[in-house]
Amino acid sequence: MKLTLFDLDNTLLVGDSDYEWGQFLIDRGVLDRATYEAQNQQYYDQYVAGTLDIHEYLGFALRPLAEHTPEELARWHAEFMRERILPMIGAPARALVKGHLLAGDLCAIVTATNSFVTAPIAREFGVTQLIATEPESRGGRFTGRVAGTPCFREGKTRRVDEWLAAQGRGLADFDPSSFYSDSHNDLPLLERVSRPVAVDPDAQLAAEAKRRGWPVISLRG
């Protein structure tokens, strides 16, 4: 069997769903623009630079989930999908995912963005397997804390290994195992699969892909 893993933000999406969720809540008046917007941008810049403290960031990003009811969050997310996410999904990304699904690959989206934001996006692509950062919940409400290992950098590799182990499998059981990503933050997982693919890569990943002879593709258009 073939294993195909997809990063989400700036790979399958032309943009970053985590950043856009924060901006959406600001534009809706849910979050205060003066206190939230600059910090949201700062954390995004740290992610791009490879200096993000994921636990510090998650304390910031998951807080709004804890401050509102599940009903409010669900209503806002439906609007977010229509207004922000659907325009970020291009035909090439849809075709890539569909092709792997039709080929019978075991497919999963593997993303640092939390599962509340990303589960509906994975469903939009028709991907049933989502490996994401999990926000903790108790009594039907989010707590604002993370549950388990954040799905970021080395954490992505660990979470994929755990997901496969739960099925009695490992990466070595698949030929090939592929991972599509745009970011140098994903190098730990890109180095583990047998077929790493750089997608509209950032400068650091583009240089690494060239050095190692990895394929480089674009899903923009």
- Reported residue count of the chain is 221
pLDDT confidence of residue 140: 94
End-to-end CA distance of the chain: 30
Specify whether the CB–CB gap between 200 and 11 falls below 8 A: yes
Residues labelled as active-site residues: 7, 9
Q: How many CB atoms sit inside 10 A of residue 182's CB?
A: 22
203 close to 48: Cβ distance less than 8 angstroms: no
Report how far residue 198's alpha carbon sits from residue 179's, in angstroms, rounded to the nearest whole number. 8
Amino acid at 101: L
Q: What is the pLDDT of residues 19-58, one digit of tens each?
A: 999 999 999 999 999 889 999 999 999 998 999 999 999 9
Minimum mean pLDDT among 43-57, 97-111, 123-137: which range? 43-57
Strands 195-199 and 216-217, sheet pairing: parallel
Task: Output the six-digit token pair for 141.
Answer: 């409400």
159, 128, 140, 79 alpha-carbon torsion, rounded to 10°? 120
Tokens of 150: 């954040």
User: What percent of the chain is predicted at pLDDT more than 90?
Assistant: 98
Q: Cα separation of 216 and 180, whole Å?
A: 9
The pLDDT tens digits of the residues spanning 163-219 come to 999 999 999 999 999 999 999 999 999 999 999 999 999 999 999 999 999 999 999
Residue whose C-alpha is closest to residue 198's, from 182, 185, 187:
182
Token output for 144 = 């604002």
9: nearest Cα among 52, 38, 39: 52
DSSP H stretches of helix in 67-191: 70-80, 91-102, 115-125, 154-165, 187-190
